[in-house]
Structure 1
């Protein structure tokens, strides 16, 4: 008796023949497929699908592969997958409505639980202008500024990296004592047991490392495009703490920049000070060589830098000229006196000047007046006239003696001036030879002095620069300015509001439920069989 459900079954002889043929071909997969196909139970298919299959022929690719797919009994509906329509999907969604509702409820409940239990995050933002050009406090600073824009951007990026560096974060951790804050150092399950076997230094190091990791995760910084403005983001579980962290990081960043510049200037000053000892020794040795050369050659200088020998030679030349003038004057005076004595003009010559000569001349002139008066009154042989003439002769002899004494004194003055002139001229001649020797020695002395001055100038330059850099360490020239300080946020940045989380959970649950319903429907379709004919 023929049954409709036996139309798709192979007869025993046919199955045996197929099995033998498969054995002859040596394909184990074909053998397994035929066995599974014989053991597969019949599954009813929807009438709509049967009608669609009878009315429309399968595509050519599926027809070519249908015999092989029908032989595979695990997914008997894989050959008809191209015939899936919208009605099938709607039916799958209707059949999986329970799973859709369950997924929506579960995801919404999970979103609500996360909104209630999640740790809130409060983010604050700080805008900082990092100008690559430092403040021009001193004319020749240790650090030079590069006017090229690319170099300036690189410098800003470097300072941006310093903002989130470990040095800055370490300052914040130490200042705010974050190692004792449970938000940054969360107690572990085996923390108490671990502390029993570790020292306080190790515990402190572990806490600092944990706080460093937690704080580095909470800090972000970026530079605004085409500007020197850096935006720093800091979040924390408390709004006030986020603001405190932001302000502390900015302060630590400024301190780090200042300390970095101060340390760099300190290294330069230290190197200069180390060089100063050698320069000081060189200057001392050069100046000592100058003085030793002066002492060895007897070179003495005055306040204006002139050698004493030159000055003495000039003075001797001046004295020689003065002595020569005095000698000439004394010689001239002596000659005039001698001529006056020879000519008998001792009474009237002006060269003979002395107190006795003046008295004698006054007596002589008075006596001459008396003699002239007597000659007019008395005769030539009057006794009084004879006595006056005798007295006049005595005065003339006294004036002659006085003139001879003055002449001898003038002769002595002339000889003395002549000797002085000769001595000064000889001394000036000797000193001139010394001047020539000193001038030759001064050539070498000037060379030594130039060397000493050059070394002294280098030493003074380094000394002034070292002192200037040492003072530069105390001056903060970094041009960093906060243009927008962090303000307490009105709401948390994460997680979002509960309503948004619930809506998101519901949407995700709906999508998950729909995907699950479609997946289950597709699975049943692939595992299903054609319906049995009536």
Structure 2
């Protein structure tokens, strides 16, 4: 408690100048406010003039005896302002002792408020789910629609993008539709004017409003962040019920996986749709190119074999082979005919080997046998024997028959030679004509190959696009997203907010103490500043 005599006792003595005028020693506020009157004086008093010999004069005695009114000071509202520097520990303890009731009241109020908040506050149960979001998709096909970037920065951007998808409206809308959160009072709070608004809105508008409210409430309850230097994403979900928080977390993860698959499927579907739209034009181009090839073949009479060779070239080659064979046969027939002609001219009909026939063989056998008989008769009967003469007459007849047979064979050989000569000439003429056709066909084949190359190129592009479109169409049915849940949400043991009642009560006590002490010190300081101090005589 403040004691007035303590301030007077602690107040220092006033020094006197050599002129005899007392000078007061104030606090720091006196130094900061030089325009204020002397500190420590309750009412301003005029200075008393003293004679040089030290005794007071008559005029001064009359001035002191008179009471002179002083003008009001500028610190009259806070008389104790100049005494702030003199506040001590005893003053503070006294203020706290006087404000003890306020401290107790503040502590009781804060504890009651903490207890009321603990009993009435809506509880929050938070669950956590760890998800590995691998930026590289599963390599199901070698040339997938989506390519993976091996750079780490690009992979982190991919993970951040998928992290944004985890808390996107598409994913949350799936959860709202699946769990019917628009009908859950935890997410759609009934408003005071809800019944009034329902009178002026349709059911569709009311349903849209509920879904929007559920979306806002759910988005506030879902948080996701990526762990440093990893691809692990931690998702936090809270709800007023522990089981519902787990259900929400599992539903969000399932909706996230479906959203990734649907996004990839829709992207692949757009590519397949564009390819299918392009396939009709490519098919038309391929058909037109192949039709142009066949029309050119028909117009120029170009026929190809199974190995792709033109029929005219193959026919020309065959004719050349036949011409060579005919020429060879003609040469053989001509040689034989000349040999027979020489043999007849030289009289070698009976011994020449060129004359070969069945009659010639029989005649030669008879001629040889008769020659043997004639030689035997010559040794036995002599040159003039009748039998020898008859034998020689038969030999002459056989020689004439062999000569006739030789001429007949010669005529046949000449006919063969003429026939081979005619066949050779005919084949050579035909080969010559076919050669001119081959030259014209080869010139046409140059244009034909150009048309065939164009047709093959268009067919290859068409086949590539067709195979790619079918592959991408099948790719839509395959989920290649590489997202794995490594830690599923578990029911929490305790609520995450508000804290436990004991902690709230302890916090209420601490806050009440701080508030009460601050209030007691404030009231004590106020009384100190407002209190007037007695002035020493």
Class of the TM-score when normalised by the shorter of the 2 chains: 0.7 to 0.9
CA distance in 2, matches of 1:49, 1:480: 79
Partner of 2:214: 211
2:8 maps to 1:51 = yes
User: Measured at CA, do residues 176 and 45 of structure 1 come closer, stay the same or move farther in structure 2, by a change above 3 Å?
Assistant: closer
**Aligned partners of 1:526, 1:435: CA distance in 2, in Å?**
130
Q: Is the 8 A contact 1:50 1:531 kept in 2?
A: no
2:451 to 444, 448, 453: 448
- 8 Å contact kept, 1:107–1:509: yes
Shift of the alpha carbon at 1:300? 2.2
Query: Which moved further from structure 2: 189-198 or 418-427?
Result: 189-198
Give secondary structure in 1 for the equivalent of 2:188: coil
Report Cα offsets for 1:137-156 as digits up to 9, x if no partner: 33333223223222222222
Taking structure 1 as the reference length, the TM-score comes to 0.84
What are structure 1's unaligned runs of at least 5 residues? 1-43
Question: After the TM superposition, which of the residue ranges 428-437 and 452-461 deviates more from structure 2?
Answer: 452-461
Matches within 5 A, 1:417-428: 417-428=420-431
SS where residue 494 of structure 2 aligns?
Answer: coil
Q: 1:384 to 1:200 in 2, by over 3 A?
A: farther
Q: Specify the alignment match of 1:189 in structure 2.
A: 192
Indicate conservation of the 8 Å contact 2:2/2:91, yes or no. Answer: no
Aligned alpha-carbon RMSD (Å): 2.8
- CA shift digits 1:467-500 (9 cap, x unpaired): 3333332333322222222222221111111111
Deviation, 1:380, is 5.2
Distance 1:73 1:155 in 2: 73
CA distance in 1, matches of 2:123, 2:137: 40
**Matched ranges for 1:88-487 at <5 A:** 88-378=91-381, 385-487=388-490
After TM superposition, give the deviation of residue 355 of structure 1 in Å. Answer: 2.7
Q: What does residue 64 of structure 1 align with?
A: 34
> Relative to structure 2, which stretch is displaced further, 205-214 or 54-63?
54-63
By how many angstroms is 1:121 displaced? 1.3
The alignment partner of 1:349 has SS state of coil
Question: Alpha-carbon deviation of 1:181?
Answer: 2.4
- Deviations along 1:25-78, one digit per CA (max 9) or x if unpaired, are xxxxxxxxxxxxxxxxxxx98415642674484223366354599436554444
The number of aligned residues is 491
SS at match of 1:127: strand
Alpha carbons of structure 1 residues 245 and 69: separation in structure 2 relative to 1, 3 Å: farther
- Partner Cα distance (1:49, 1:293) in 2: 130
Q: Runs of 5+ in structure 2 lacking a partner?
A: 14-24, 38-70
Give the Cα–Cα distance (whole angstroms) in 2 for the partners of residues 52 and 436 of structure 1: 141
Question: How big is each residue's C-alpha offset from its partner over 1:228-248, in whole Å with a ceiling of 9 and x where there is no partner?
Answer: 221111111222222222222
In the TM superposition, what whole-angstrom CA distance separates every residue of 1:338-363 from its partner, at most 9, and x where no partner exists? Answer: 22222333333222222333333334
Runs of 4+ in structure 1 deviating by more than 6 angstroms, as ranges, are none
CA shift in 2, pair 1:63/1:315, >3 Å:
closer
Query: Please, what TM-score do these two structures have when normalized by structure 2?
Result: 0.83
Q: Which has the higher contact order (CA 8 A, sep 6+)?
A: 1
1:226-271 CA deviation, whole Å, 9 max, x = no partner?
A: 2222111111122222222222222222222222222222222222
Question: What residue is the counterpart of 1:515 in the other structure?
Answer: 518
Say which structure is richer in helix.
1
